[in-house]
Amino acid sequence: MRFDELQELLSRKGFQKYESAMLGVIEGYPVMITKAANSSSQASITYSIDGKVTRKVMKALSKLGYAGLGKNSVKVNFSLKDKKFEEKYDNATTKVVKALQELGIMPQTACPICGSSECDSYALMGEGYQPVHAKCVKNYQVGIKEKTEKNELSGNYFTGLIGALLGGVVGSVPNILSILWANKIYAVLFALIPLCTYYGYKLLRGKLNKVCVVITMLVSIIAVFFIEFAVTVMMVVDQFGFTIQESFTTCLDMMKTPEAFKEVFFNSDSITSFIFVIIGIIITWSQISTTNHSIVSSAEEISKTLTPNLNYVDSYVATEEKVNEI
């Protein structure tokens, strides 16, 4: 069975389609069903739950296709190959729900926004399909919009740039230490540079738009020059017994000659560092490309998945009426 056939089956069972995901409720558990990330022949069910997932729970679910967990969710994979798919799907979900109940893992009941229960709706938020209050979602969206509008008005490129430079320095430190102490370059550490640069820009209230993304990438690349220079300074200290200040001054004078500049910044190690920081930018792109526009869009997307909880229909309708009056 193909995933589109699964979607048709779930639609008949009352599930809501959002992009490629199917959203619904199984025996009280809000679930999100998607294609499995690592297999085209499998689908994943993400159950939103209350309670801590222990090793005992993971062990019990391992026989049922356990594929991972989140803060308030557990993911189970199942095969799409079987021809008697509907029967297998019902059987698989029944077994998982039974296992969760026997282990004391109940459906999530608290709204992720306010933390209270008696939710009148469901919505796709964070790591899965979760119970929410419709009013909380509306208030959350209003708050996000106000916050981003404030940033657009009061955000400052200069302070943001200072924050980005400071963040770039912080993100460079682990790389410098790994080169000096382990004499190795670890690609994963270079992912810290764009992340720290972005959050430094954000922390010092830089304006979150496309300029932020450009500054983050440029400062991340500049950080490689900082790393190579810092390593050279420390090596001179170690080999010649200079103080850090003397070494800094000496290296700075050396950089005035094209030969020394090329040897320090365009050797095989520095080229590898440039490649790794570009890979780091790619790895962290979903975070460092976050702008006011994308933040507002993400908040607005939540409303598209907002569905009334049939146990609290009256509350949902009353909330909708109040929101529409505002």
Which CATH number goes with the domain that contains 97? 3.30.1460
Q: What is d(CA 298, CA 69) in angstroms, rounded to the nearest whole number?
A: 23
Residue 182 covered by a domain: yes
Q: What is d(CA 259, CA 262) in angstroms, rounded to the nearest whole number?
A: 5
CB 74 within 8 Å of CB 66 = yes
Are 78 and 170 within one domain?
no
Are 207 and 239 within one domain?
yes
Residue 296 covered by a domain: no
Are 159 and 284 within one domain?
yes
Residue 300 covered by a domain: no
Instruction: Assign 322 a pLDDT band (cuts: 50, 70, 90).
Output: very low
Q: What is d(CA 48, CA 26) in angstroms, rounded to the nearest whole number?
A: 10
Q: What is d(CA 223, CA 200) in angstroms, rounded to the nearest whole number?
A: 13
CB 66 within 8 Å of CB 117 = no
Are 163 and 244 within one domain?
yes
Are 286 and 311 within one domain?
no
Are 284 and 163 within one domain?
yes
174-185 in b/e burial notation, b at 16+ Cβ within 10 A? bbbeebeeeeeb
- Please name every residue paired with 129 in a beta bridge, in sequence order, or none if there are none: 124
For residue 56, give the nearest of 94, 108, 103 by alpha carbon.
Answer: 103
Q: What is d(CA 285, CA 258) in angstroms, rounded to the nearest whole number?
A: 34
Q: What average pLDDT score do residues 134-150 get?
A: 94
Does 314 score more than 60 pLDDT? Answer: no
Residue 147 covered by a domain: no
Residue type, position 321, single letter: E
Kindly state the percentage of the chain with pLDDT values over 70: 94
Are 189 and 263 within one domain?
yes
Kindly state the percentage of the chain with pLDDT values over 90: 49
Backbone CA torsion sign across 163, 189, 218, 211: negative
Where in the sequence is the domain holding 23, given as residue range(s)? 3-134+305-325
Residue 153 is predicted with a pLDDT of 92
Query: Bigger pLDDT: 169 or 51?
Result: 169
Residue 146 covered by a domain: no
Are 7 and 72 within one domain?
yes
Are 93 and 180 within one domain?
no
Residue 61 covered by a domain: yes
Task: Give CA separation, 215 vs 53, 164, 168, 191, 220, in Å.
Answer: 40, 8, 11, 16, 8
Does 217 score more than 60 pLDDT? Answer: yes
Q: What average pLDDT score do residues 46-68 get?
A: 81
Going by C-beta distance under 8 Å and a sequence separation of 6 or more, which residues neighbour residue 272? 185
Going by C-beta distance under 8 Å and a sequence separation of 6 or more, which residues neighbour residue 291? 208, 209, 210, 212, 213
Are 29 and 123 within one domain?
yes
Q: Beta 21-26 vs 29-35: how paired, if at all?
A: antiparallel
Q: What is d(CA 184, CA 85) in angstroms, rounded to the nearest whole number?
A: 51
Domains held by the chain: number: 2
Residue 310 is predicted with a pLDDT of 81
Q: What is d(CA 96, CA 149) in angstroms, rounded to the nearest whole number?
A: 45
Residue 326 is predicted with a pLDDT of 43
Residue 47 is predicted with a pLDDT of 93
Residue 273 covered by a domain: yes
Are 90 and 169 within one domain?
no
Ramachandran category for residue 296: left, alpha or beta (phi over 0 → left; psi -120 to 50 → alpha): alpha
Q: Quick count: other Cβ atoms within 10 Å of Cβ 71?
A: 11
Average pLDDT taken over every residue of the chain: 87
For residue 226, give the nearest of 193, 198, 253 by alpha carbon.
Answer: 193
Residue 139 covered by a domain: no
Q: What is d(CA 29, CA 106) in angstroms, rounded to the nearest whole number?
A: 8
For residue 41, give the nearest of 87, 85, 2 by alpha carbon.
Answer: 2
CB 261 within 8 Å of CB 255 = yes
**3-class secondary structure, 27:** coil
Q: Quick count: other Cβ atoms within 10 Å of Cβ 87?
A: 10
Are 59 and 14 within one domain?
yes
